[in-house]
């Protein structure tokens, strides 16, 4: 029996294999640039019935979150490492640039990062860890005089998501990503 991360229950061996096969196919589709996650197509390619897909992932959001657990765990590590670095301001700038680049390259990551929904509770817990580490980094940058008072981690998340959206709707993403990120970084500073 294998633990079922979505339900906190234990899966039979065949159900665990089916779940992993479904996730593998969905990962391959995302890697190929198809972020539609059409359950009928995934079921056919995985060799299972569409009911099996729905049993493991009742919604597209649930599947997307399951696919992104490792990426969010990696992001948590990056934020914690940035928060521990000596130069909090440089670390914050680098972290925001990295987050924006990841959002622009990975639409699935962007969708989950921007969303307040959570299919099974794990994503909320990971986002909570991200927020805690980012709060620590912001506090250190604020102590260095580089971040305005009253600006929290969720504010910064919303701002970087807004920039991601603004960049995606236009041409020359690299150019506008840098311009808009510079505006954000300037806007984080305390009023003069």
Measure CA 23 to chain center.
17
Q: Which of these, 2, 122, 18, 25, lies nearest to 68 by C-alpha position?
A: 122
| Residue 30 confidence (pLDDT) | 84
Q: 97 CB contacts (<8 Å, ≥6 apart)?
A: 181
In our burial notation (b when 16+ CB lie closer than 10 A, e otherwise), range 42-71 reads bbeebebeeebbebbbeebbbbbbbbbeeb
The Cα-based distances of 120 to 32, 66, 72, 184 in angstroms read 26, 9, 15, 32
pTM, full prediction = 0.80
How confident is the chain (192 residues) per 10-residue block, as mean pLDDT? Answer: 54 87 91 87 95 93 88 89 91 94 89 82 88 93 95 96 93 92 96 86
Going from the N-terminus, what domains does the chain have, and what CATH number goes with each?
Answer: 2-58 (1.10.10), 61-188 (1.10.357)
Instruction: Give the integer Cα–Cα distance in Å for 117 and 6.
Output: 14
**Helix H segments across 58-121?**
60-84, 88-105, 107-114
Tokens coding 96: 């925001």
Q: At what angle do helices 173-188 and 88-105 cross, to 10 degrees?
A: 150
The pLDDT, as a whole number, for residue 123 is: 87
């Amino acid at each position: 029996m294998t633990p079922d991360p979505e339900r906190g229950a234990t899966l039979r061996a065949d159900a665990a294999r089916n779940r992993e096969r479904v996730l593998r196919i969905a990962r391959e589709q995302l890697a190929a640039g198809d972020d539609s996650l059409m359950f009928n197509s995934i079921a056919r390619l995985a060799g299972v019935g569409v009911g099996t897909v729905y049993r493991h992932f009742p919604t597209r959001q649930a599947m997307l979150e399951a696919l992104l657990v490792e990426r969010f765990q990696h992001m948590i590590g990056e934020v914690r490492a940035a928060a521990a670095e000596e130069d909090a301001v440089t670390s914050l700038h680098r972290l925001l640039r990295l987050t924006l680049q990841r959002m622009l390259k990975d639409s699935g990551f962007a969708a989950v990062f921007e969303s307040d929904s959570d299919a099974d509770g794990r994503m909320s817990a990971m986002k909570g860890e991200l927020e805690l580490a980012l709060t620590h980094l912001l506090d250190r940058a604020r102590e260095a005089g580089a971040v305005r008072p009253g600006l929290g981690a969720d504010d910064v998340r919303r701002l970087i998501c807004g920039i991601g959206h603004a960049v995606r709707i236009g041409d020359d993403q690299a150019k506008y990503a840098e311009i808009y990120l510079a505006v954000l970084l300037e806007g984080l500073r305390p009023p003069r």
